[in-house]
Structure 1
Amino acid sequence: MRGIKLVLAFFMVLVIAGCATKGSSTNSEKNQAHEAYTRLGFQYLQSGDTSNAKTSFQRAIEIQSSYAEAHNGIALAFQIEGDDALAEKYFRRAAALEPSSAMMHNNFGAFLFAKGRYEEACKALARATEDPFYNRRSQAFENLGRCYRHLNREDAAKHAFQRALQVTANRPVSMVELSEILLAEGNYPEADKQFQKFLALVESRRVEHYAKSLWVGIRLAREERNASRAATYALILKNLFPESKEYQEYKESTR
Protein backbone atom coordinates (compact mmCIF):
# COMPACT_ATOMS: atom_id res chain seq x y z
CA MET A 1 0.00 0.00 0.00
CA ARG A 2 2.81 2.40 0.87
CA GLY A 3 4.46 1.62 -2.47
CA ILE A 4 1.21 2.42 -4.27
CA LYS A 5 0.93 5.76 -2.43
CA LEU A 6 4.49 6.66 -3.38
CA VAL A 7 3.86 5.79 -7.01
CA LEU A 8 0.68 7.90 -7.02
CA ALA A 9 2.52 10.78 -5.39
CA PHE A 10 5.29 10.54 -7.97
CA PHE A 11 2.77 10.41 -10.77
CA MET A 12 1.05 13.53 -9.41
CA VAL A 13 4.40 15.33 -9.35
CA LEU A 14 4.95 14.43 -13.02
CA VAL A 15 1.49 15.70 -13.95
CA ILE A 16 2.02 18.93 -12.03
CA ALA A 17 5.45 19.42 -13.57
CA GLY A 18 3.99 18.98 -17.02
CA CYS A 19 1.32 21.59 -16.35
CA ALA A 20 3.70 24.05 -14.78
CA THR A 21 6.39 23.94 -17.44
CA LYS A 22 4.30 24.43 -20.55
CA GLY A 23 4.89 27.91 -21.85
CA SER A 24 1.29 28.21 -23.03
CA SER A 25 -0.34 27.11 -19.77
CA THR A 26 -3.90 28.33 -19.41
CA ASN A 27 -5.30 29.81 -16.20
CA SER A 28 -7.23 26.59 -15.70
CA GLU A 29 -4.03 24.54 -15.90
CA LYS A 30 -2.32 26.86 -13.43
CA ASN A 31 -5.23 26.51 -11.02
CA GLN A 32 -5.03 22.76 -11.28
CA ALA A 33 -1.27 22.86 -10.73
CA HIS A 34 -1.24 24.93 -7.54
CA GLU A 35 -4.20 23.02 -6.14
CA ALA A 36 -2.51 19.70 -6.91
CA TYR A 37 0.75 20.82 -5.30
CA THR A 38 -1.21 21.86 -2.21
CA ARG A 39 -3.00 18.50 -2.03
CA LEU A 40 0.35 16.78 -2.35
CA GLY A 41 1.73 18.97 0.44
CA PHE A 42 -1.04 17.88 2.79
CA GLN A 43 -0.41 14.26 1.89
CA TYR A 44 3.22 14.71 2.88
CA LEU A 45 2.11 16.41 6.13
CA GLN A 46 -0.14 13.48 6.99
CA SER A 47 2.79 11.10 6.54
CA GLY A 48 5.04 13.31 8.73
CA ASP A 49 7.29 14.45 5.89
CA THR A 50 7.38 18.20 6.58
CA SER A 51 10.35 18.83 4.30
CA ASN A 52 8.64 17.62 1.13
CA ALA A 53 5.38 19.18 2.33
CA LYS A 54 7.01 22.61 2.47
CA THR A 55 8.53 22.11 -0.97
CA SER A 56 5.10 21.27 -2.41
CA PHE A 57 3.42 24.23 -0.71
CA GLN A 58 6.19 26.53 -1.92
CA ARG A 59 5.66 25.38 -5.51
CA ALA A 60 1.95 26.11 -5.14
CA ILE A 61 2.74 29.60 -3.86
CA GLU A 62 5.18 30.19 -6.75
CA ILE A 63 2.38 29.39 -9.18
CA GLN A 64 -0.33 31.30 -7.29
CA SER A 65 1.06 33.60 -4.59
CA SER A 66 -2.38 34.46 -3.22
CA TYR A 67 -3.47 30.85 -2.63
CA ALA A 68 -4.36 30.88 1.09
CA GLU A 69 -4.53 27.10 1.53
CA ALA A 70 -0.87 26.74 0.53
CA HIS A 71 0.15 29.42 3.04
CA ASN A 72 -1.94 27.65 5.67
CA GLY A 73 -0.28 24.34 4.82
CA ILE A 74 3.25 25.68 5.06
CA ALA A 75 2.30 27.33 8.39
CA LEU A 76 1.21 23.94 9.73
CA ALA A 77 4.50 22.41 8.56
CA PHE A 78 6.54 25.06 10.37
CA GLN A 79 4.35 24.62 13.45
CA ILE A 80 5.10 20.89 13.49
CA GLU A 81 8.82 21.65 13.16
CA GLY A 82 8.64 24.11 16.06
CA ASP A 83 9.56 27.15 13.99
CA ASP A 84 6.98 29.43 15.59
CA ALA A 85 8.03 32.69 13.96
CA LEU A 86 7.66 31.34 10.43
CA ALA A 87 4.48 29.46 11.34
CA GLU A 88 2.90 32.67 12.61
CA LYS A 89 4.03 34.57 9.52
CA TYR A 90 2.30 32.13 7.18
CA PHE A 91 -0.80 31.75 9.39
CA ARG A 92 -1.24 35.53 9.33
CA ARG A 93 -0.72 35.59 5.56
CA ALA A 94 -3.33 32.84 5.05
CA ALA A 95 -5.89 34.64 7.22
CA ALA A 96 -5.21 37.94 5.43
CA LEU A 97 -5.67 36.34 2.02
CA GLU A 98 -8.96 34.71 3.02
CA PRO A 99 -10.36 36.82 5.89
CA SER A 100 -13.74 35.10 5.65
CA SER A 101 -12.27 31.59 5.95
CA ALA A 102 -13.23 29.98 9.27
CA MET A 103 -10.60 27.29 8.75
CA MET A 104 -7.76 29.81 8.52
CA HIS A 105 -8.87 31.58 11.71
CA ASN A 106 -9.42 28.29 13.55
CA ASN A 107 -5.94 27.00 12.67
CA PHE A 108 -4.32 30.31 13.61
CA GLY A 109 -6.33 30.46 16.83
CA ALA A 110 -5.28 26.92 17.76
CA PHE A 111 -1.65 27.87 17.14
CA LEU A 112 -1.93 30.96 19.38
CA PHE A 113 -3.74 28.91 22.04
CA ALA A 114 -0.92 26.35 22.08
CA LYS A 115 1.52 29.22 22.68
CA GLY A 116 -0.50 30.53 25.64
CA ARG A 117 -1.46 33.72 23.80
CA TYR A 118 -5.06 33.45 24.90
CA GLU A 119 -6.31 36.99 24.19
CA GLU A 120 -5.21 36.75 20.55
CA ALA A 121 -6.32 33.14 20.30
CA CYS A 122 -9.84 33.92 21.48
CA LYS A 123 -10.20 36.66 18.87
CA ALA A 124 -9.12 34.34 16.06
CA LEU A 125 -11.31 31.48 17.30
CA ALA A 126 -14.31 33.78 17.66
CA ARG A 127 -13.85 34.70 13.98
CA ALA A 128 -13.85 30.99 13.13
CA THR A 129 -17.25 30.45 14.78
CA GLU A 130 -18.94 33.15 12.67
CA ASP A 131 -19.31 30.98 9.55
CA PRO A 132 -22.53 28.93 9.97
CA PHE A 133 -21.43 26.58 7.18
CA TYR A 134 -17.97 25.77 8.58
CA ASN A 135 -17.83 21.99 8.87
CA ARG A 136 -15.79 22.19 12.08
CA ARG A 137 -17.80 24.94 13.69
CA SER A 138 -18.55 22.91 16.83
CA GLN A 139 -14.82 22.31 17.30
CA ALA A 140 -14.19 26.04 16.90
CA PHE A 141 -16.80 26.81 19.58
CA GLU A 142 -15.20 24.21 21.84
CA ASN A 143 -11.73 25.66 21.29
CA LEU A 144 -13.14 29.11 22.00
CA GLY A 145 -14.69 27.92 25.24
CA ARG A 146 -11.41 26.45 26.44
CA CYS A 147 -9.67 29.68 25.48
CA TYR A 148 -12.15 31.82 27.46
CA ARG A 149 -11.62 29.62 30.52
CA HIS A 150 -7.93 30.51 30.47
CA LEU A 151 -8.98 34.16 30.62
CA ASN A 152 -11.39 33.40 33.51
CA ARG A 153 -14.31 34.45 31.33
CA GLU A 154 -16.57 31.67 32.58
CA ASP A 155 -19.86 33.10 31.24
CA ALA A 156 -18.42 33.42 27.75
CA ALA A 157 -16.91 29.93 28.02
CA LYS A 158 -20.23 28.49 29.15
CA HIS A 159 -21.99 30.01 26.15
CA ALA A 160 -19.31 28.70 23.76
CA PHE A 161 -19.60 25.13 25.10
CA GLN A 162 -23.38 25.29 24.89
CA ARG A 163 -23.12 26.42 21.27
CA ALA A 164 -20.64 23.62 20.51
CA LEU A 165 -23.15 21.08 21.82
CA GLN A 166 -26.00 22.68 19.91
CA VAL A 167 -24.05 22.34 16.67
CA THR A 168 -22.78 18.81 17.44
CA ALA A 169 -24.43 17.05 20.37
CA ASN A 170 -21.77 14.46 21.14
CA ARG A 171 -18.67 16.56 21.91
CA PRO A 172 -17.28 14.97 25.10
CA VAL A 173 -14.86 17.77 26.01
CA SER A 174 -17.65 20.35 25.86
CA MET A 175 -19.82 18.14 28.07
CA VAL A 176 -17.13 17.86 30.73
CA GLU A 177 -16.12 21.52 30.58
CA LEU A 178 -19.73 22.67 30.78
CA SER A 179 -20.37 20.26 33.64
CA GLU A 180 -17.45 21.74 35.57
CA ILE A 181 -18.66 25.31 35.02
CA LEU A 182 -22.17 24.39 36.17
CA LEU A 183 -20.70 22.61 39.17
CA ALA A 184 -18.82 25.77 40.16
CA GLU A 185 -22.07 27.73 39.81
CA GLY A 186 -23.78 25.34 42.23
CA ASN A 187 -26.12 24.05 39.52
CA TYR A 188 -25.60 20.39 40.41
CA PRO A 189 -28.62 18.91 38.51
CA GLU A 190 -27.51 20.47 35.20
CA ALA A 191 -23.87 19.64 35.89
CA ASP A 192 -24.81 16.01 36.47
CA LYS A 193 -26.99 16.02 33.35
CA GLN A 194 -24.03 17.00 31.19
CA PHE A 195 -21.75 14.52 32.93
CA GLN A 196 -24.22 11.69 32.40
CA LYS A 197 -24.15 12.42 28.67
CA PHE A 198 -20.37 12.09 28.79
CA LEU A 199 -20.64 8.83 30.77
CA ALA A 200 -22.95 7.42 28.10
CA LEU A 201 -20.17 7.94 25.54
CA VAL A 202 -17.67 6.28 27.89
CA GLU A 203 -19.94 3.29 28.46
CA SER A 204 -20.45 2.87 24.73
CA ARG A 205 -16.63 2.96 24.36
CA ARG A 206 -16.72 5.95 22.07
CA VAL A 207 -14.44 7.95 24.39
CA GLU A 208 -12.34 7.33 27.48
CA HIS A 209 -12.06 9.12 30.79
CA TYR A 210 -9.28 11.69 31.11
CA ALA A 211 -7.93 13.61 34.08
CA LYS A 212 -10.50 16.40 34.08
CA SER A 213 -13.49 14.11 33.55
CA LEU A 214 -12.44 12.00 36.52
CA TRP A 215 -11.96 15.06 38.73
CA VAL A 216 -15.38 16.40 37.75
CA GLY A 217 -16.83 12.94 38.44
CA ILE A 218 -15.28 12.90 41.91
CA ARG A 219 -16.80 16.26 42.81
CA LEU A 220 -20.23 15.30 41.49
CA ALA A 221 -20.10 12.02 43.38
CA ARG A 222 -19.28 13.93 46.56
CA GLU A 223 -22.30 16.17 46.02
CA GLU A 224 -24.43 13.04 45.68
CA ARG A 225 -22.77 11.60 48.79
CA ASN A 226 -21.72 8.59 46.71
CA ALA A 227 -18.44 7.73 48.43
CA SER A 228 -17.96 4.51 46.47
CA ARG A 229 -18.15 6.23 43.09
CA ALA A 230 -15.89 9.06 44.24
CA ALA A 231 -13.31 6.52 45.47
CA THR A 232 -13.44 4.64 42.16
CA TYR A 233 -12.83 7.78 40.12
CA ALA A 234 -10.06 8.84 42.51
CA LEU A 235 -8.28 5.50 42.13
CA ILE A 236 -8.42 5.69 38.35
CA LEU A 237 -7.17 9.29 38.47
CA LYS A 238 -4.27 8.26 40.71
CA ASN A 239 -3.30 5.26 38.58
CA LEU A 240 -3.62 6.81 35.13
CA PHE A 241 -2.86 10.49 35.68
CA PRO A 242 -0.65 10.80 38.79
CA GLU A 243 1.20 13.85 37.40
CA SER A 244 -1.89 15.73 36.31
CA LYS A 245 -3.03 19.06 37.72
CA GLU A 246 -6.38 17.43 38.50
CA TYR A 247 -4.79 14.75 40.69
CA GLN A 248 -2.90 17.41 42.60
CA GLU A 249 -6.17 19.29 43.14
CA TYR A 250 -7.80 16.07 44.32
CA LYS A 251 -5.04 15.46 46.87
CA GLU A 252 -5.37 19.03 48.11
CA SER A 253 -9.10 18.51 48.56
CA THR A 254 -8.56 15.52 50.85
CA ARG A 255 -6.35 17.38 53.33
Structure 2
Amino acid sequence: MFVSGMKSVFIVILTMVVIGCTPNGTKSSESGSAYEAYSRLGFEYLQAGDTSNAKFAFNRSLELKSGYAQAYNGLALTFQLEGDDQLAEDYFRKATNLSPSSAMLHNNFGAFLFSKGRFQEACVELARATEDPFYNSRAQAFENLGRCYQNIARDDAAKHAFKRALQVSSSGRPISLVELSDINLKEGNLVEAEAYYKSFLEFVESRKFEHYAKSLWVGIRISRQTANYNRAAAYALILKNLYPDSVEYQQYKESAR
Protein backbone atom coordinates (compact mmCIF):
# COMPACT_ATOMS: atom_id res chain seq x y z
CA MET A 1 0.00 0.00 0.00
CA PHE A 2 1.16 2.78 -0.42
CA VAL A 3 4.54 5.18 -2.36
CA SER A 4 5.60 8.77 -3.01
CA GLY A 5 4.22 11.37 -0.63
CA MET A 6 3.96 8.69 2.06
CA LYS A 7 3.90 11.23 4.88
CA SER A 8 0.58 12.80 3.95
CA VAL A 9 -1.41 10.08 2.27
CA PHE A 10 -3.33 7.18 3.74
CA ILE A 11 -4.82 4.49 1.64
CA VAL A 12 -8.10 3.19 3.03
CA ILE A 13 -8.67 -0.34 1.76
CA LEU A 14 -12.29 -1.31 1.14
CA THR A 15 -13.14 -4.97 1.01
CA MET A 16 -15.69 -5.21 -1.76
CA VAL A 17 -18.11 -8.11 -1.64
CA VAL A 18 -19.88 -9.11 -4.83
CA ILE A 19 -23.49 -9.87 -4.11
CA GLY A 20 -26.15 -11.61 -6.14
CA CYS A 21 -29.07 -9.37 -7.04
CA THR A 22 -32.10 -9.94 -9.16
CA PRO A 23 -32.91 -7.35 -11.86
CA ASN A 24 -35.34 -5.50 -9.59
CA GLY A 25 -32.67 -5.06 -6.92
CA THR A 26 -33.86 -7.64 -4.42
CA LYS A 27 -31.37 -9.97 -2.77
CA SER A 28 -30.78 -13.49 -3.96
CA SER A 29 -31.27 -16.46 -1.66
CA GLU A 30 -27.49 -16.60 -1.15
CA SER A 31 -27.26 -13.01 0.06
CA GLY A 32 -27.85 -11.70 3.55
CA SER A 33 -30.77 -9.50 4.48
CA ALA A 34 -31.99 -6.75 2.18
CA TYR A 35 -30.33 -3.90 4.08
CA GLU A 36 -26.99 -5.70 3.92
CA ALA A 37 -27.43 -6.36 0.22
CA TYR A 38 -28.12 -2.70 -0.52
CA SER A 39 -25.08 -1.67 1.50
CA ARG A 40 -22.87 -4.10 -0.40
CA LEU A 41 -24.29 -2.81 -3.65
CA GLY A 42 -23.41 0.71 -2.50
CA PHE A 43 -19.79 -0.33 -2.00
CA GLU A 44 -19.73 -1.83 -5.50
CA TYR A 45 -20.95 1.48 -6.93
CA LEU A 46 -18.41 3.34 -4.79
CA GLN A 47 -15.60 1.13 -6.04
CA ALA A 48 -16.66 1.97 -9.58
CA GLY A 49 -16.70 5.70 -8.78
CA ASP A 50 -20.48 5.98 -9.19
CA THR A 51 -21.19 8.09 -6.12
CA SER A 52 -24.77 8.93 -7.13
CA ASN A 53 -25.93 5.32 -7.18
CA ALA A 54 -23.75 4.54 -4.16
CA LYS A 55 -25.64 7.12 -2.12
CA PHE A 56 -28.97 5.76 -3.33
CA ALA A 57 -28.02 2.22 -2.30
CA PHE A 58 -26.69 3.24 1.12
CA ASN A 59 -29.78 5.34 1.81
CA ARG A 60 -32.01 2.45 0.78
CA SER A 61 -30.11 0.28 3.25
CA LEU A 62 -30.75 2.81 6.01
CA GLU A 63 -34.44 2.97 5.14
CA LEU A 64 -34.58 -0.76 5.84
CA LYS A 65 -32.41 -0.57 8.98
CA SER A 66 -31.83 2.92 10.34
CA GLY A 67 -29.00 1.90 12.67
CA TYR A 68 -26.82 0.02 10.21
CA ALA A 69 -23.26 1.29 10.78
CA GLN A 70 -21.83 -0.08 7.52
CA ALA A 71 -24.25 2.03 5.48
CA TYR A 72 -23.21 5.16 7.38
CA ASN A 73 -19.57 4.20 6.76
CA GLY A 74 -20.35 3.87 3.07
CA LEU A 75 -21.93 7.31 2.96
CA ALA A 76 -18.94 8.76 4.81
CA LEU A 77 -16.53 7.30 2.26
CA THR A 78 -18.77 8.49 -0.58
CA PHE A 79 -18.83 12.08 0.67
CA GLN A 80 -15.10 11.91 1.34
CA LEU A 81 -14.59 10.93 -2.29
CA GLU A 82 -16.81 13.83 -3.38
CA GLY A 83 -14.83 16.28 -1.21
CA ASP A 84 -17.70 17.10 1.16
CA ASP A 85 -15.63 16.86 4.35
CA GLN A 86 -18.28 17.95 6.86
CA LEU A 87 -20.80 15.39 5.69
CA ALA A 88 -18.09 12.72 5.59
CA GLU A 89 -17.14 13.48 9.17
CA ASP A 90 -20.77 13.48 10.32
CA TYR A 91 -21.36 10.04 8.84
CA PHE A 92 -18.08 8.64 10.16
CA ARG A 93 -19.14 9.74 13.65
CA LYS A 94 -22.54 8.12 13.22
CA ALA A 95 -20.91 4.89 12.09
CA THR A 96 -18.40 4.72 14.95
CA ASN A 97 -21.04 5.67 17.53
CA LEU A 98 -23.30 2.87 16.31
CA SER A 99 -20.50 0.30 16.20
CA PRO A 100 -17.81 1.50 18.66
CA SER A 101 -16.00 -1.85 18.66
CA SER A 102 -15.46 -1.92 14.88
CA ALA A 103 -11.73 -1.60 14.13
CA MET A 104 -12.42 -1.03 10.44
CA LEU A 105 -14.69 1.94 11.12
CA HIS A 106 -12.17 3.56 13.47
CA ASN A 107 -9.39 2.98 10.91
CA ASN A 108 -11.42 4.61 8.15
CA PHE A 109 -12.32 7.59 10.33
CA GLY A 110 -8.72 7.91 11.51
CA ALA A 111 -7.47 7.87 7.94
CA PHE A 112 -9.92 10.64 7.06
CA LEU A 113 -8.81 12.80 10.01
CA PHE A 114 -5.15 12.17 9.14
CA SER A 115 -5.73 13.31 5.56
CA LYS A 116 -7.08 16.60 6.96
CA GLY A 117 -4.04 17.15 9.16
CA ARG A 118 -6.01 16.57 12.35
CA PHE A 119 -3.35 14.30 13.79
CA GLN A 120 -4.27 14.33 17.48
CA GLU A 121 -7.82 13.18 16.69
CA ALA A 122 -6.59 10.76 14.05
CA CYS A 123 -4.24 9.03 16.48
CA VAL A 124 -7.11 8.41 18.90
CA GLU A 125 -9.20 6.73 16.19
CA LEU A 126 -6.28 4.74 14.80
CA ALA A 127 -5.32 3.53 18.27
CA ARG A 128 -8.88 2.22 18.64
CA ALA A 129 -8.46 0.36 15.36
CA THR A 130 -5.45 -1.55 16.70
CA GLU A 131 -7.29 -2.85 19.77
CA ASP A 132 -9.12 -5.67 18.01
CA PRO A 133 -6.76 -8.69 17.87
CA PHE A 134 -8.92 -10.28 15.15
CA TYR A 135 -8.96 -7.28 12.79
CA ASN A 136 -7.60 -8.59 9.49
CA SER A 137 -5.92 -5.25 8.70
CA ARG A 138 -4.40 -4.81 12.14
CA ALA A 139 -0.83 -4.58 10.84
CA GLN A 140 -1.85 -1.74 8.52
CA ALA A 141 -3.65 -0.05 11.41
CA PHE A 142 -0.49 -0.17 13.55
CA GLU A 143 1.53 1.25 10.65
CA ASN A 144 -1.01 4.04 10.16
CA LEU A 145 -0.87 4.75 13.89
CA GLY A 146 2.92 4.94 13.83
CA ARG A 147 2.88 7.50 11.05
CA CYS A 148 0.25 9.46 12.94
CA TYR A 149 2.35 9.57 16.11
CA GLN A 150 5.30 10.87 14.08
CA ASN A 151 3.21 13.91 13.15
CA ILE A 152 2.65 14.83 16.79
CA ALA A 153 6.32 14.30 17.78
CA ARG A 154 5.72 11.07 19.69
CA ASP A 155 8.63 9.08 18.30
CA ASP A 156 8.69 6.52 21.12
CA ALA A 157 5.01 5.70 20.54
CA ALA A 158 5.62 5.63 16.78
CA LYS A 159 8.51 3.22 17.23
CA HIS A 160 6.34 0.90 19.30
CA ALA A 161 3.53 1.03 16.73
CA PHE A 162 5.86 0.20 13.82
CA LYS A 163 7.33 -2.73 15.76
CA ARG A 164 3.83 -4.01 16.48
CA ALA A 165 3.02 -3.72 12.77
CA LEU A 166 5.93 -6.03 12.03
CA GLN A 167 4.98 -8.43 14.81
CA VAL A 168 1.38 -8.94 13.71
CA SER A 169 2.10 -9.01 9.97
CA SER A 170 2.43 -12.34 8.22
CA SER A 171 4.04 -10.89 5.08
CA GLY A 172 6.16 -8.01 6.40
CA ARG A 173 5.70 -4.24 6.30
CA PRO A 174 8.31 -2.47 4.11
CA ILE A 175 7.21 1.00 5.17
CA SER A 176 7.46 0.11 8.87
CA LEU A 177 10.99 -1.16 8.24
CA VAL A 178 12.01 2.15 6.64
CA GLU A 179 10.38 4.18 9.42
CA LEU A 180 12.11 2.12 12.12
CA SER A 181 15.40 2.51 10.29
CA ASP A 182 14.87 6.28 10.15
CA ILE A 183 13.95 6.54 13.86
CA ASN A 184 16.99 4.52 14.88
CA LEU A 185 19.23 6.71 12.73
CA LYS A 186 17.90 9.79 14.53
CA GLU A 187 18.57 8.09 17.85
CA GLY A 188 22.13 7.21 16.84
CA ASN A 189 21.49 3.45 16.70
CA LEU A 190 23.29 2.72 13.43
CA VAL A 191 23.41 -1.06 13.86
CA GLU A 192 19.65 -1.34 14.36
CA ALA A 193 18.97 1.17 11.59
CA GLU A 194 21.08 -0.84 9.17
CA ALA A 195 19.40 -4.12 10.17
CA TYR A 196 15.91 -2.75 9.50
CA TYR A 197 17.06 -1.25 6.21
CA LYS A 198 18.59 -4.53 5.04
CA SER A 199 15.25 -6.21 5.68
CA PHE A 200 13.57 -3.50 3.59
CA LEU A 201 16.06 -4.05 0.75
CA GLU A 202 15.02 -7.70 0.60
CA PHE A 203 11.58 -6.52 -0.52
CA VAL A 204 13.13 -4.27 -3.17
CA GLU A 205 15.51 -6.91 -4.47
CA SER A 206 12.72 -9.48 -4.73
CA ARG A 207 10.61 -6.89 -6.61
CA LYS A 208 7.87 -6.96 -3.98
CA PHE A 209 8.26 -3.25 -3.26
CA GLU A 210 9.89 -0.21 -4.84
CA HIS A 211 12.07 2.50 -3.42
CA TYR A 212 10.33 5.77 -2.62
CA ALA A 213 11.69 9.16 -1.56
CA LYS A 214 12.08 8.40 2.13
CA SER A 215 13.60 4.96 1.62
CA LEU A 216 16.23 6.50 -0.65
CA TRP A 217 17.02 9.28 1.80
CA VAL A 218 17.38 6.78 4.64
CA GLY A 219 19.61 4.69 2.38
CA ILE A 220 21.81 7.69 1.61
CA ARG A 221 22.32 8.45 5.30
CA ILE A 222 23.08 4.84 6.23
CA SER A 223 25.49 4.50 3.29
CA ARG A 224 27.33 7.65 4.33
CA GLN A 225 27.69 6.45 7.91
CA THR A 226 28.98 3.05 6.78
CA ALA A 227 31.38 4.68 4.29
CA ASN A 228 29.62 3.14 1.29
CA TYR A 229 29.85 6.32 -0.77
CA ASN A 230 29.17 4.70 -4.14
CA ARG A 231 25.84 3.39 -2.89
CA ALA A 232 25.04 6.77 -1.35
CA ALA A 233 25.70 8.44 -4.71
CA ALA A 234 23.52 5.88 -6.51
CA TYR A 235 20.61 6.47 -4.13
CA ALA A 236 21.06 10.23 -4.46
CA LEU A 237 20.89 10.01 -8.26
CA ILE A 238 17.66 7.99 -8.12
CA LEU A 239 16.21 10.44 -5.60
CA LYS A 240 17.07 13.39 -7.84
CA ASN A 241 15.66 11.78 -10.99
CA LEU A 242 12.46 10.31 -9.55
CA TYR A 243 11.55 12.61 -6.67
CA PRO A 244 13.05 16.05 -7.37
CA ASP A 245 10.16 17.84 -5.65
CA SER A 246 10.17 15.72 -2.51
CA VAL A 247 10.99 16.94 0.97
CA GLU A 248 13.62 14.22 1.13
CA TYR A 249 15.46 15.56 -1.92
CA GLN A 250 15.49 19.02 -0.38
CA GLN A 251 16.96 17.50 2.79
CA TYR A 252 19.59 15.73 0.72
CA LYS A 253 20.58 18.96 -1.03
CA GLU A 254 20.87 20.75 2.31
CA SER A 255 23.07 17.95 3.67
CA ALA A 256 25.35 18.08 0.62
CA ARG A 257 26.25 21.75 1.06
8 A Cα contact 1:34 1:63, kept in partner: yes
Residue 182 (structure 1) aligned with residue 192 (structure 2): no
Does the residue aligned with 1:48 lie in a helix, a strand or coil?
coil
Equivalent pairs counted in the alignment come to 238
Q: Which structure's relative contact order is higher, taking Cα pairs within 8 Å and 6+ residues apart?
A: 2
**For structure 1, which runs of at least 5 residues remain unmatched after alignment?**
1-7, 20-28
- In the alignment, residue 194 of structure 2 is paired with which amino acid? D
Tell me what 1:45 maps to. 46
Instruction: Name the SS of the counterpart of 1:143 in structure 2.
Output: helix
**Over aligned residues, Cα RMSD in angstroms?**
1.8
Contact 2:46 2:54 in 1 (8 A): yes
How far is the alpha carbon of 1:18 from its aligned partner?
10
Tell me how far 1:10 sits from its aligned partner. Answer: 9.5
Higher helix share: 1
Instruction: Check whether the contact 1:44–1:52 (CA below 8 A) recurs between aligned residues.
Output: yes
Q: How many Å separate the matches in 1 of 2:22 and 2:242?
A: 45
2:243 to 241, 244, 255: 241
Question: Which letter maps to 2:202?
Answer: A
Q: Does the aligned pair in 2 maintain the 1:12–1:36 contact within 8 Å? A: no
Deviations 1:6-41 (A, max 9, x none): xx989446242899xxxxxxxxx9x61110001101
Partners of 2:19 and 2:40 within 8 A in 1: no
Residue 200 of structure 1 corresponds to which residue in structure 2? 202
Structure 2 CA distance, aligned partners of 1:99 and 1:90? 13
User: Within 2, Cα distance between the matches of 1:12 and 1:154?
Assistant: 53
In the alignment, the residues of structure 2 paired with residue 139 and residue 58 of structure 1 have an alpha-carbon distance, to the nearest angstrom, of: 30
Which amino acid counterpart does residue 54 of structure 1 have in structure 2?
A: K
Taking structure 1 as the reference length, the TM-score comes to 0.90
Following TM superposition, the consecutive aligned residue runs of length 4 or more in structure 1 with deviations greater than 6 angstroms are none
* Partner of residue 24, structure 2: 14
Q: Is the 8 A contact 2:72 2:92 kept in 1?
A: yes
Residue 158 of structure 2 corresponds to: 157
Superposed CA offset, 1:52-95 (max 9, x none) = 11111111011101100010011001001110000000000000
Cα distance in 2, alignment partners of residues 54 and 77 from structure 1: 7
Aligned to 1:231: 233
- Supply the distance in 2 between the matched residues of 1:253 and 1:110 (Cα, whole angstroms): 32
1:112 aligns with 2:113: yes
The answer as to whether partners of 2:20 and 2:28 remain within 8 angstroms in 1 is no
1:156 partner letter: A
CA distance in 1, matches of 2:141, 2:19: 32
| In structure 1, distance between residues paired with 2:22 and 2:223 | 57
Distance 2:59 2:53 in 1: 10
Which residue, 189, 213, 216 being the options, matches 2:215?
A: 213
Distance 1:150 1:13 in 2: 49
